[in-house]
Amino acid sequence: MCGLKDELKKCIKNEKDTDAWNDPWIDTIPISLWPTFINVEALVKIVMVCELIDNDSWKNDMIETYFGKELVSKIENITISKERANDKWVLVFSRDGNLTTRRAYCELKGKE
């Protein structure tokens, strides 16, 4: 597929703008669309990413309760910004780390 939308995720800044369940913040796909790597019943209580953070660090005990080992590792590797700005969308680059003109053109034109 030729789409920049598939390459976007939320960059955590103030943690208050990102829905833990429906926004892509760990990867480019929201957790709600993933195969079950998580304790879904427990996670339903979590609404925003800020509920997983305390004083600019991840609440590891809480993360370990709700997510499997693989996701815990991914989450712990997400840097929490000290900047107090709104969370923002960022482009996750392709495997080779580059955004090609062709990919950008295809997305803007809505072509495959």
Question: What are 37-85's pLDDT values in tens digits?
Answer: 555 566 667 678 888 888 888 998 888 887 777 788 888 988 887 777 7
Question: What are 18-32's pLDDT values in tens digits?
Answer: 888 888 888 888 887
* Mean pLDDT of all residues in 77-99: 72
Q: Nearest 5°: phi and psi at 106?
A: -60, -40
C-alpha–C-alpha distance, residues 21 and 6, integer Å? 17
Output the pLDDT for position 112.
47
Residue 111 has pLDDT above 60, yes or no: no
pLDDT band at 1 (very low <50, low <70, confident <90, very high): very low
- 1-25 b/e (C-beta count within 10 Å ≥ 16 → b): eeeeeebebbbbbbbebbbbbebbb
* Mean pLDDT of all residues in 81-94: 74
